[in-house]
Structure 1
Amino acid sequence: MTNTAPHRTDLWAVTPADVTTPEAGELLRDYYYDVANRYYRLHLGREGTPEELESGLADSPSDDLAAPSGLFLIGRYDGVAHACAGLRRYDDTTVELTRVFVRPALRGTGGGGRLLAAVDAAARAMGADRIVLDTRLDLVEARALYLRNGYQEIPAYNSGPYAQVWYGKDLGTPTR
């Protein structure tokens, strides 16, 4: 679902956050349930069971989205946490973007763009000059968001079980 209300990007603020907090955990659970249920509906014609979803969430830890190997960002709309993104070190000059999520009710309000602008700044602060990510073909809103924000399709850099399309973005010279 995409919000058709006028864009109020001024109501979005994105800041680094501790990935182990309950607030971060709630966003990550919402993210996982959203993408997993889309997969279940598309490929199995049903919603995932609570047991399947919780098991999958447990098998997808996000603890590497903390220093020194990564970073977690939370996007707040009018002060309330509604979006997130994570970065993890891929190599000396590259970070991998993961766990990008905006709650469905606030999609279309500019939060995704604000989130990715903060991702760029955070990646540069980590000394990266490139961001890569993988996603699924059915996550069309995410793919459109990446393309609108300077990402380009690249050759596969991993063989993840759900990786179907890969994107990269050059940031220029890092600030080390």
Structure 2
Amino acid sequence: MKSQGFRKIDFQEELREYFYSINIEWLKEYFDPTAEDLRILKNPEEIISMGGRIVFISAGKEPIGTCALIPADEDKVRLIKMGVKKDWRGRGAGKFLLQSAIEEAKTMGAGKIVLETSEKLQAAKAVYSSAGFRQTGIEIIHPEFGRKVFEMQLELDK
């Protein structure tokens, strides 16, 4: 998948540090990263071993955005840790990354994608909404991360 100068890159071991660095940037900007955040970001192979996928996008040689998809049940995947480098925000990278993740979820056989986000992440919420995600739950304090989140969901065409 290629568009607007962006291209999708599948996970490779040499890219693992980008999964950490891109995500820790936005996490520190909006929240205090938790031990659980760090565990996930430092162990991308756990996502892969669960049948998940890690997606990167680039606009040149280095990744500028990343996210992960984790199987939640036979028909659903969970989108987690989606971030774009600060210098690339507002330039369509988030939309391209999300569309790449949606296409990847379809290849995983998913009928829907769920994610958790926060009211603090207004730009992300707008990107999710523009792609068709709808809020499906009330705001709660996440038991593992200790921050307010709500769930959004997208039904996929099969």
TM-score by length of 1: 0.75
Superposed CA RMSD: 2.4
Shift of 1:154: 0.6
Q: Does 1:29 align with 2:32?
A: no
- Whole-Å separation in 2 of the counterparts to 1:81 and 1:106: 11
Question: Is the CA contact 2:70–2:79 (under 8 Å) kept in the aligned structure 1?
Answer: yes
1:154 aligns with 2:136: yes
1:79 is displaced (CA, Å) by 3.0
Counterpart pick for 2:120 among 125, 133, 138: 138
Q: Does 1:59 align with 2:39?
A: yes
Cα deviation for residue 122 of structure 1 reads 0.7
**Separation (CA, whole Å) in 2 of partners of 1:10 and 1:37:** 26
Q: Cα 1:57–1:164, aligned 2, differ >3 Å: closer, same or farther?
A: closer
Structure 1 residue ranges without an equivalent (≥5): 1-8, 41-52
The 1:22–1:129 alpha-carbon spacing in structure 2 relative to 1, beyond 3 Å, is: same
Distance 1:139 1:75 in 2: 20
Partner residue, 2:4: 10
Are 1:126 and 2:126 counterparts?
Answer: no
Quote the Cα distance in structure 1 between the aligned partners of 2:34 and 2:121: 21
From 157, 166, 172, the equivalent of 2:151 is 166
Per-residue deviation, residues 123-142 of structure 1 (Å, max 9, x unmatched): 11101010000012211111
Q: Residues 167, 30 of structure 1: CA spacing in aligned structure 2 closer, same or farther, 3 A cutoff?
A: same
Residue aligning to 1:82: 64
The separation in 1 between residues aligned to 2:154 and 2:54, in whole angstroms, is 19
* Aligned residue pair count: 151
Give the AA of the match of 2:150.
V
Q: Are the equivalent residues in 1 in contact too, given 2:22–2:65 (CA < 8 A)?
A: no
Question: Whose relative contact order is higher, 1 or 2, with alpha carbons under 8 Å and at least 6 apart?
Answer: 1
**Aligned counterparts of 1:139 and 1:102: Cα–Cα separation in 2:** 12
Deviation at 1:37, TM superposition (A): 3.8
Runs of at least 5 residues in structure 2 that lack an aligned partner in the other structure: none
Distance 2:45 2:121 in 1: 24
